[in-house]
């Protein structure tokens, strides 16, 4: 139980508690609800102070983020493992705690409390593989700043299904490892969905691709890699490879030149032969016969001149034929002279080309190696992408199977822990029955998404009834903690739990809580607005006997918990 909450701040109102029900009242002024300041009477600050002193982080909504409190220390005396312990924490230097005078870190303090209250292993706060102290402790001191008064099974509106299933499975004595494994599946599904969305949007489409496409690309890349490996294995490096390449180029040039010269000589012979065939001497009697046929007799002088001309022309023709025949012979001789050189050059070129075709240069070998390394890298990348695509496409089926396995484990655990589940159900029902004629029920169901909690009750849409379901749930947890000999030994509710709740239900609930707290026993601390506390009465219950001597008020500047107002 909590014995005392105090501070070095002179104006702070020290709170002293007793066992059982403790009611801290606050008077509300007519201006209340205008929202001018975040901390007026300070009812919620009591809850924030308890969290501050049990290792809670300081959010922007917390009063302990205010510079107005920076120079002060706050403390609490409460029972830990049956021993009264004093813890203090400075607002400014809040990384450390003083526990019975000894300085320890926030992490060590949380581990100690987790071990003392819930039997957690000392390293449970670090490994993240088991329930945490802070997650479970928040059910016993719900914070309005976390919107903790929305659902019975959630101690914060943003609490994930994995977190509350893990915490409540542990608190109710079920196999919490199943809840942890379920969260692993959810995380994998979330990652899978993000990858699928990214692939669909094109962010990863070119990187991952489909398994079918990548299977083909990978097969082609592997085949290409094999060919390159074979080529490298059979590659013979020839040191003089480049010199032979140069010689082959020169031989090709020389052979081309000689072939061109032969072509020119062959063309010349062809033209000479054509010219020789067209050259002919004029017929001896052709001109005389022409005149005779015309009936003209040429004089003897003319005949002699004609004979001289004919002989001259014949001489010219003979000289030209002799010249052409000589040119033809020269061309044939040149071609004959080139023939041996052509044969020699051709043989040399053939030998070089044969050598080059069966060997390679060192730089070619290096290029081939580089190409093989590049293709090998591409093939490995395709292999990894193919595996990723297969995993991506097959993960959904695998996760569905894992969900079915977890559902089977959960159903089996529910069967094995039927007594504990039944005890929780009956405890909730009995508390609800103290408030309503038609008692509410708690249903714990094994589903494909883990343990689900439902709280059906007539008129459950009413805001007040929703709040009282949380009230019944929290008292049920206190009963289960007593049976299991664990828990902090106290339950704290601030006035937000009773917003919108009928006055008769409030006083009936407090009467029920007072009786349960006295019977088990445990400590129940409640902060209430004075107007709500005394709207109704119930026979056999005097609320005044549980009201704490300290009263808070937002009507005066110094009426709040801290003795002054701050933003």
Do 9 and 152 lie in one domain? The reply is: yes
Do 147 and 32 lie in one domain? The reply is: yes
CA-to-CA distance for 101 and 275, rounded, in angstroms? 132
User: For 199-236, b where at least 16 C-beta lie within 10 A, e where not — what string?
Assistant: beeeebeeebbebeebeebbeebeebbeebeeeeeeee
Question: DSSP assignment, residue 76?
Answer: E
Do 34 and 134 lie in one domain? The reply is: yes
Do 250 and 149 lie in one domain? The reply is: no
CA-to-CA distance for 13 and 551, rounded, in angstroms? 9
Choosing from 319, 335, 359, the residue where a domain stops is: 359
253 domain residue, yes or no: yes
Rounded (to 5) percent helix, strand, coil in the chain: 60, 15, 30
Choosing from 325, 359, 393, the residue where a domain stops is: 359
Tell me phi and psi for residue 421, to 5 degrees.
-65, -45
Do 136 and 8 lie in one domain? The reply is: yes
Do 274 and 150 lie in one domain? The reply is: no
Sign of CA dihedral 252, 253, 257, 263: positive
Q: Mind listing the pLDDT tens digit for each residue in 383-397?
A: 777 776 776 667 777
Q: Mind listing the pLDDT tens digit for each residue in 268-308?
A: 888 888 877 876 555 545 555 655 666 565 566 655 666 66
65 domain residue, yes or no: yes
Choosing from 333, 359, 385, the residue where a domain stops is: 359
Q: For the whole prediction, is pTM greater than 0.85? A: no
CA-to-CA distance for 150 and 467, rounded, in angstroms? 7
Q: Mind listing the pLDDT tens digit for each residue in 433-491?
A: 999 888 899 999 999 999 999 999 876 566 788 999 999 999 999 999 999 999 999 99
Do 246 and 150 lie in one domain? The reply is: no
303 domain residue, yes or no: yes
Please state the rounded mean pLDDT for residues 411-429: 97
| Position 414 confidence tier, pLDDT thresholds 50, 70, 90 | very high
| Position 137 confidence tier, pLDDT thresholds 50, 70, 90 | very high
**22 contacts 33 by C-beta, under 8 angstroms:** no
Work out the mean pLDDT of the chain and round it to a whole number: 83
Query: For residue 40, is pLDDT > 70?
Result: no
Do 49 and 148 lie in one domain? The reply is: yes
Share of the chain above pLDDT 70, in %: 78
- 6 forms beta bridges with 75
Per-residue tokens: 326? 């000589």
Q: Mind listing the pLDDT tens digit for each residue in 191-245?
A: 878 776 765 544 444 555 576 777 787 788 788 777 767 655 655 544 555 565 5
Do 136 and 34 lie in one domain? The reply is: yes
- 471 forms beta bridges with none
| Position 125 confidence tier, pLDDT thresholds 50, 70, 90 | low
State the helix-helix crossing angle for 176-201 and 362-416, rounded to 10 degrees: 140
Query: For residue 362, is pLDDT > 60?
Result: no
164 domain residue, yes or no: no
Question: DSSP assignment, residue 127?
Answer: H
The closest alpha carbon to 141, from 101, 119, 113, 120, belongs to: 113
| pLDDT, greater one: 546 or 123 | 546
Do 325 and 465 lie in one domain? The reply is: no
522 domain residue, yes or no: yes
Please state the rounded mean pLDDT for residues 59-66: 90
**Pick from 184-193, 320-329, 426-435: least confident:** 320-329
Please state the rounded mean pLDDT for residues 99-124: 92
State the helix-helix crossing angle for 418-433 and 362-416, rounded to 10 degrees: 60
95 domain residue, yes or no: yes
For position 354, what pLDDT does the model report? 66
114 domain residue, yes or no: yes
438 domain residue, yes or no: no
Q: Mind listing the pLDDT tens digit for each residue in 151-200?
A: 999 999 999 999 999 999 999 999 999 999 999 999 988 887 877 676 55
Question: Which CATH number is 253's domain given?
Answer: 1.10.287
The reply to whether omega before 521 is within 30° of 0 (cis) is yes
* Strands (DSSP E) found in 278-318: none
**Pick from 63-72, 94-103, 337-346: least confident:** 337-346
The closest alpha carbon to 491, from 21, 6, 14, 13, belongs to: 21
Do 253 and 130 lie in one domain? The reply is: no
Question: Which CATH number is 508's domain given?
Answer: 3.40.50
Do 150 and 268 lie in one domain? The reply is: no
| pLDDT, greater one: 56 or 399 | 56
**Pick from 81-85, 221-225, 352-356: least confident:** 352-356
Length of the chain: 567
Q: Say which residue the tokens 């002699």 belong to.
A: 304
Burial class of residue 69 in the structure, from the number of CB atoms within 10 Å of its CB (0-12 exposed, 13-18 middle, 19+ buried): buried
Query: For residue 33, is pLDDT > 60?
Result: no
Range of the domain at 25: 2-157+455-553
Question: How many domains would you assign to the chain?
Answer: 2
Please state the rounded mean pLDDT for residues 308-333: 74
């Amino acid at each position: 139980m909590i014995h005392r909450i105090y501070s070095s701040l002179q104006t702070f109102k020290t709170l002293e508690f007793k066992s059982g029900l403790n009611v801290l009242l606050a008077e509300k002024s007519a201006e209340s609800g205008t929202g001018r300041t975040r901390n007026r009477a300070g009812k919620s600050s009591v809850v924030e102070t308890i969290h501050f002193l049990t290792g809670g982080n300081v959010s922007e909504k917390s009063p302990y983020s205010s510079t107005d409190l920076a120079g002060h220390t706050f403390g609490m005396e409460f029972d830990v493992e049956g021993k009264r312990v004093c813890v203090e924490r400075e607002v400014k230097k809040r990384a450390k705690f003083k526990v019975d005078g000894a300085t320890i870190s926030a992490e060590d303090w949380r581990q100690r409390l987790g071990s003392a209250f819930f039997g957690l292993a000392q390293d449970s706060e670090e490994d993240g593989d088991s329930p945490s102290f802070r997650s479970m402790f928040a059910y016993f001191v719900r914070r309005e700043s976390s919107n903790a008064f929305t659902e019975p099974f959630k101690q914060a509106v943003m609490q994930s299904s994995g977190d509350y299933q893990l915490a409540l499975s542990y608190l109710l004595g079920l196999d919490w490892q199943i809840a942890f494994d379920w969260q692993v599946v959810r995380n994998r599904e979330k990652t899978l969905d993000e990858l699928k969305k990214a692939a669909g949007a094109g962010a990863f489409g070119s990187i991952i691709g489909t398994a079918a496409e990548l299977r083909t690309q990978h097969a082609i890349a592997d085949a290409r890699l094999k060919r390159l490996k074979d080529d490298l294995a059979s590659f013979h490096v020839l040191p003089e490879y480049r010199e032979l390449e140069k010689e082959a180029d020169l031989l090709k040039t020389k052979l081309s030149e000689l072939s061109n010269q032969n072509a020119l000589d062959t063309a010349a012979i062809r033209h000479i032969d054509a010219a020789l065939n067209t050259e002919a001497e004029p017929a001896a009697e052709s001109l005389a016969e022409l005149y005779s046929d015309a009936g003209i007799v040429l004089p003897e002088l003319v005949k002699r001149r004609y004979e001289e001309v004919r002989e001259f022309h014949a001489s010219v023709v003979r000289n030209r034929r002799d010249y052409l025949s000589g040119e033809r012979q020269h061309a044939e001789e040149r071609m004959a002279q080139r023939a041996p050189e052509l044969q020699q050059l051709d043989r040399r070129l053939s030998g070089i080309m044969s050598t080059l075709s069966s060997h390679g240069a060192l730089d070619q070998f290096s290029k081939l190696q580089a190409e093989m390394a590049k293709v090998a890298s591409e093939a490995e990348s395709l292999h990894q992408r193919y595996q990723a695509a297969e995993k991506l496409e097959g993960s959904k089926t695998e996760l569905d199977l894992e969900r079915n396995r977890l559902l089977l484990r959960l159903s089996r655990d529910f069967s094995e822990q039927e007594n504990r589940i039944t005890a929780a159900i009956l405890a909730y029902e009995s508390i609800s029955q103290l408030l309503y004629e038609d008692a509410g029920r708690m249903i714990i169901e094994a589903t494909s998404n883990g343990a689900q909690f439902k709280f059906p009750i007539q008129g459950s849409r009413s805001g007040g009834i929703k709040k009282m379901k949380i009230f019944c749930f929290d008292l049920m947890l206190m009963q289960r903690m007593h049976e299991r000999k664990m828990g902090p030994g106290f339950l704290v509710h601030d006035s937000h739990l009773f917003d919108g709740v009928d006055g008769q239900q409030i006083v009936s609930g407090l009467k029920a809580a007072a009786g349960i707290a006295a019977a088990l026993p445990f400590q129940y601390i409640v902060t209430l607005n004075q107007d709500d506390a005394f709207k109704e009465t119930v026979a056999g219950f005097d609320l005044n006997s549980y009201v704490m001597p300290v009263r808070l008020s937002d009507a005066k500047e110094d009426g709040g918990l801290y003795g002054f107002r701050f933003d």
